Amino acid sequence: MSPIAANLNAVRARIAAAAQSAGRDPHSIRLLAVSKTWPASDVSAAFEAGQYAFGENYADELGAKAAELAHFPLIEWHFIGALQSNKTRVVAENCAWAHGIGRLKIAERLSAQRPENLPPLQICLQVNVSGEASKSGVPIEEAVPLAHAVAALPRLVLRGLMCIPEPTGDVALLRRRFALLRELNEQLKSAGLAVDTLSMGMSHDLEAAIAEGATIVRVGTAIFGSRPSRAQTDHTEGVVSQ
Ligand SMILES: *Cc1c(COP(=O)(O)O)cnc(C)c1O
């Protein structure tokens, strides 16, 4: 068995155990394998081990990898990073989902650029559940109006919410952040929006997220290994593009 296949099995076992302790059906939680910085060959290895959904953070890298792996049409690409408005097209054309959306302008561009031959792009709004401790995502008090505006766009489907809490070893604090996202999703349901997705939990905190209702966990390091630092990655990308 390849190391990636073994890691995938270990992560699936963690998800199953966390679901069981929370009294939840393990099948109600989807694993998104975060392949950012890793080559297409690692995505293929995971795909051959039965993993279909992959998350990418950088639009250029997503475009390159999707092209390289076009012979695997079953791969489902999710964009999970902060998206700049000049990079929306590659996401609109290649992804099934986008999770990092925190501004209406970005959502409008994705809707306008979504190709007619593809189903609507599925969206999770990123919410800043950490207040001052974080900068990314829509502020909590603006999440409901943004959700209504995004849900009204023709080529998008609002599926739910996503968060990345500030890094902390304080599990009780993490659980409060994740619980806040769950409560906000309940608020959207009460307001008549058909949301069903909570995208939360990563390699180090997926148990806390599942305990609070995560339906998608986004896991990179525990599957593919530790990433090189961003500085090294930028250097490598610079060399490749020359
Ligand atoms: C990198 C990343 C992940 C995966 O993080 P790991 O700690 O490697 O599991 C999940 N979500 C987002 C938004 C990320 O940028």
15-26: per-residue pLDDT in tens? 999 999 999 999
Q: How far apart are CA 149 and CA 9, in angstroms?
A: 39
- For ligand 1, atom 6, name the residue with the nearest CA: 220
Token code pair at residue 218: 């986004």
- What's the gap in Å between 219 CA and the centre of ligand 1? 6
> Of the residues 202, 216, 221, which should be mutated to test ligand 1's pocket, given the most ligand atoms within 8 Å of the CB?
202
- What's the gap in Å between 56 CA and the centre of ligand 1? 9
- What's the gap in Å between 191 CA and the centre of ligand 1? 30
User: CB under 6 Å to ligand 1: residues?
Assistant: 34, 36, 57, 80, 164, 202-204, 218-222
- What's the gap in Å between 220 CA and the centre of ligand 1? 6
Q: What is the pLDDT of residue 231?
A: 54
Q: What is the pLDDT of residue 109?
A: 98
- What's the gap in Å between 34 CA and the centre of ligand 1? 6
Q: How far apart are CA 43 and CA 65, in angstroms?
A: 9
Whether 24 contacts 40, CB under 8 Å? no
Whether 115 contacts 102, CB under 8 Å? no
Q: Which residues in the chain land under pLDDT 50?
A: 233-242
Count CB atoms within 10 A of the CB of residue 97: 23
Q: What is the pLDDT of residue 230?
A: 61
Q: What is the pLDDT of residue 101?
A: 97
Q: Where are the alpha helices (DSSP H) in 49-159?
A: 59-68, 88-94, 104-113, 143-151
Q: How far apart are CA 227 and CA 204, in angstroms?
A: 14
DSSP state of 199: E
Q: What is the pLDDT of residue 236?
A: 39
> Of the residues 35, 79, 80, which should be mutated to test ligand 1's pocket, given the most ligand atoms within 8 Å of the CB?
80
DSSP state of 226: P
Q: How far apart are CA 133 and CA 135, in angstroms?
A: 7
Find residue 158's DSSP bridge partners.
Answer: 123
Q: What is the pLDDT of residue 134?
A: 83
Residue with tokens 């939680």: 29
Annotation: CATH topology of 3-233: TIM Barrel (3.20.20)
Name the residue type at position 72. F
DSSP state of 153: S
- For ligand 1, atom 10, name the residue with the nearest CA: 218
Q: What is the pLDDT of residue 135?
A: 82
pTM (2 d.p.): 0.94
The three-state DSSP-derived secondary structure of 111-132 is HHHCCCCCCCEEEEEEEECCHH
Burial class (CB in 10 A: 0-12, 13-18, 19+), 117: exposed
Q: What is the pLDDT of residue 84?
A: 93
**Three-state SS for 55?**
strand
Contacts of 72 (CB under 8 A, 6+ apart): 44, 47
- What's the gap in Å between 110 CA and the centre of ligand 1? 22
> Which atom of ligand 1 lies nearest, measured to the CA of 80?
13
